[in-house]
Amino acid sequence: MLLQIHEGRSLDSVDEVEAMLETYHHHPRLKVLHEVGSYHALGVPWKTVIDRFGKDIALVHLKDMIGAQSVPFGVGDIDLPALITAMDAIGYQGDYVVEIAPPHREKTLQYIRDAYAYLQEIPE
């Protein structure tokens, strides 16, 4: 079970996610989805999410953004290499989902290819 944040939806702040975890007493199956783009759009830095939820993070959706706009990986405000390094530092062993939302649908495959190439450059 993953708690997912999205702007304008039921959970849209780190405080609400934290309250849900507390309400269910950190049930072993209840975890947090680090929805990088949504947190960023809400003004919450990725590092804040890692600091607050750490070991409760079970999945990470990677996305690069400028403000609330999705952009190709590596050109936005989100330091994805630093985020991955920080996840490694807390022992994260889970998956990363590449989340692409190009403004023009016909560019989706190119954005995915570019994201793959960008992520391959991040040292393990």
Q: Is the pLDDT of residue 27 over 80?
A: no
pLDDT, position 58: 95
pLDDT, position 6: 72
> Residue 8 and residue 17: Cα distance in Å, rounded?
14
> Residue 93 and residue 111: Cα distance in Å, rounded?
25
Instruction: Give, rounded to a whole angstrom, the gap between the first and last alpha carbons of the chain.
Output: 28
pLDDT tens digit sequence for 35-77: 999 999 989 999 999 999 999 999 999 999 999 898 999 999 9
The proportion of the chain whose per-residue pLDDT surpasses 90, expressed as a percent, equals: 56
Q: Does domain 2-120 have CATH number 3.40.50.1860?
A: no
Q: Could you state, in order of their start, the residue ranges of all structural domains in the chain? A: 2-120
pLDDT tens digit sequence for 81-110: 999 999 999 999 999 999 888 777 888 888
- Per-residue pLDDT band for 13 (boundaries 50, 70, 90) equals confident
Q: Is the pLDDT of residue 10 over 80?
A: no
